[in-house]
Amino acid sequence: MSLMPFTYFMPTRVESGNGIAEKTGAMVKELGVSRVLIVTDKGVRSANLLTGIEESLLAVNLDYEIYDEVEPNPSAETIRKGTEFLKQYKCDAVLAVGGGSSIDTAKAIAVMAVNPGDILDYEGVGKIKIPPLPIIAIPTTAGTGSETTNSTVITNKETSFKLGVLSSHLFSRLAILDPALTLQLPQQITAATGMDALTHAIESYTSKAANPVSQGYAMQAIKMIGEHLPRAYFRGTDIESREKMLVASMLAGVAFSQSRLGNVHAISHTFGGVFNIPHGIANAALLPFVMNYNLRACAEQYKDVAIALGADVSGLSEMQAAEKAIETVVQMNQSMKIPLNIKDLGVSLQVLPKLVEDSMRSGNVFVNPRLTKSGDIQSIIEKAYHGNLEDSYYERSKTSVF
């Protein structure tokens, strides 16, 4: 059987290494810019993670301003304010330093600096006509992979909806991966962002739009996360594991920028919009329930996932091996104190119709490996709310230690 036609495009230059952020100025200078807007949040700034980056910019005589108003699940209003800030100081490039929220905000500001209208006008695929200002991304968490994706996700607070903007123009010009910037991450953020990256990799690997290139990146990311997330979580200052997690997150980002994702992201984005739940923790809690729903549609791929995560599948049937992937994900969540239901995250079923409607609005539903209708989304949310994994996956997990 011949392969389906596919396209692979990833123009981002990636530089990785311990301490490499201190060379940011020289790398940004190569882009021919003169005044940079640093987009970040107050937590990153107060943790002094900008110090070496600022010094590197000054060392090459690059002017900069700092916009530190980024919040979790960044809003369209934050984009508007940031765009005005950029124009006020006449910046000609945008440098994101932070997690996915900072990178998404920076991308949107770079777009709106040169395009007409409002960021909300660009929901969907391919609507950006004018290339944005140069985007440079320095992640301080190992989770979203936004530094190598072609998308940004913005919250419309008036409708409590998180919308996606996708365009080949949204790839960063430069991504700088420095594990030293992730050493201060609290355990709970290490866990949530790490499981976010795993969700990206698994959903990309099993997507209907996956191709050999995206699956290669996704599988490598899954292997690296399975090995290094527990070390990063339990050891904290293990620089090798922090570095490997940053690279794995980046690989997962490259993968899903080619394949899109699946039902986990379709649903989790609604939780961010309605309940302001952090994206990574929502993904982590939902992942076992969506995998359980998808099981019979992609058992072969889930067997691959189980093996990549280090599960012993010797002597098992394909379906039994696929179940091991779900069990392993549950064990990972449990070992890192991530809730085994979405009720504990603050989700309320009182707005279930809106959650279902907004989830079905996502293009990720259409590439989910198992055909999905609104009733299926409702069922997944209800089961995740009650922590009800079918069969005995949940019960078996309680006697296992990851």
What average pLDDT does the segment 101-105 reach? Answer: 96
Task: Report DSSP state, residue 2.
Answer: P
- Give Cα 92 distance to the centre of its chain: 26
Same topology, domains 13-182 and 187-397? Answer is no
Backbone dihedral angles phi then psi of residue 17, each to the nearest 5 degrees: 160, 150
Residue 230 reports pLDDT greater than 60: yes
Domain boundaries, the chain: 13-182, 187-397
Which residues, listed in sequence order, are joined to residue 165 by a DSSP beta bridge? 124, 152
How far the first Cα of the chain sits from its last, in Å, is: 38
Residue 402 reports pLDDT greater than 50: no
Q: Rounded to an integer, what distance in angstroms lies between the CA atom of residue 239 and that of residue 241?
A: 6
What average pLDDT does the segment 238-246 reach? Answer: 96
399 or 32: which leads in pLDDT: 32
pLDDT digits (tens, 9 = 90+) for 151-205: 999 988 888 888 889 999 999 999 999 999 999 899 999 999 999 999 999 999 9
pLDDT at 159: 85
Residue 391 reports pLDDT greater than 90: no
Beta-strand pair 135-139/124-125: unpaired
DSSP 31-92: TT-SEEEEE--HHHHHTTTTHHHHHHHHHTT-EEEEE----SS-BHHHHHHHHHHHHHHT--
Q: What sign has the CA pseudo-torsion 401, 305, 370, 366?
A: positive
> Which pair of tokens denotes residue 13?
């230059």
Which fold, 187-397? Dehydroquinate synthase-like, alpha domain (1.20.1090)
Top-level class of domain 13-182: alpha beta
pLDDT digits (tens, 9 = 90+) for 38-84: 999 999 999 999 999 999 999 999 999 999 999 988 999 999 999 99
pLDDT at 272: 86
Predicted TM-score (pTM) of this structure:
0.92
DSSP 188-221: HHHHHHHHHHHHHHHHHHH-TT--HHHHHHHHHH
The residue among 164, 191, 178 whose CA lies nearest residue 74 is 164
